[in-house]
Amino acid sequence: MGISFEERLNALSYQIRGAAMEVYNQLGPGLLESIYEKALIAELRLRNIDVKSQVPIQVVYKGNVVSNDLRIDLLIDDTIIVELKSVEELNPLHYKQIRTYLKLTNKPLGWLINFNEDDFAHGMIKVPNRYFSSF
């Protein structure tokens, strides 16, 4: 019997955290977000994890497409959204952003990762989608 959906999410989350820690340990804090994005993509691919970057989000309002301008930093295995930051401190807007991305895409889980933390463990925040519904 195969693994459950929840077990798959947990296994992917474990890999994402490990890959992000490796990038942080190699590069340290203080670089541009775009550098961390490229490094994390490389690390995930080294681990044979499917990753897409700058994935457009279609915003639909009452049946009408009103925007294609939003972009997900990383989409892992077409399941988990990773939003990357390199900021002094995460603020409420960052949390709102990833929660909205999760809602708009109906993905079950997101990770908000801030590479500009002295204690990197505090810079990785798991964000479940409270609106998620399986098909």
Q: What digits encode the pLDDT tens for the residues 65-120?
A: 999 899 999 999 999 999 999 999 999 999 999 999 999 999 999 999 999 999 99
Domain assignment present for residue 49? The answer is yes
Q: Containing domain of residue 60, as a range? A: 5-128
For 9, other C-beta atoms within 10 Å of its C-beta total 18
Q: Would residue 134 count as lying in a domain?
A: no
pLDDT at 135: 43
CB 131 within 8 A of CB 103: yes
Domain count, the chain: 1
Q: Structure pTM?
A: 0.92
pLDDT at residue 1, rounded to an integer: 64
Map residue 114 onto helix, strand or coil.
strand
**What does the pLDDT read at residue 2?**
84
Report the CATH number at residue 68. Answer: 3.40.1350
Per-residue pLDDT tens over the stretch 37-66? 999 999 999 999 999 999 999 999 999 999
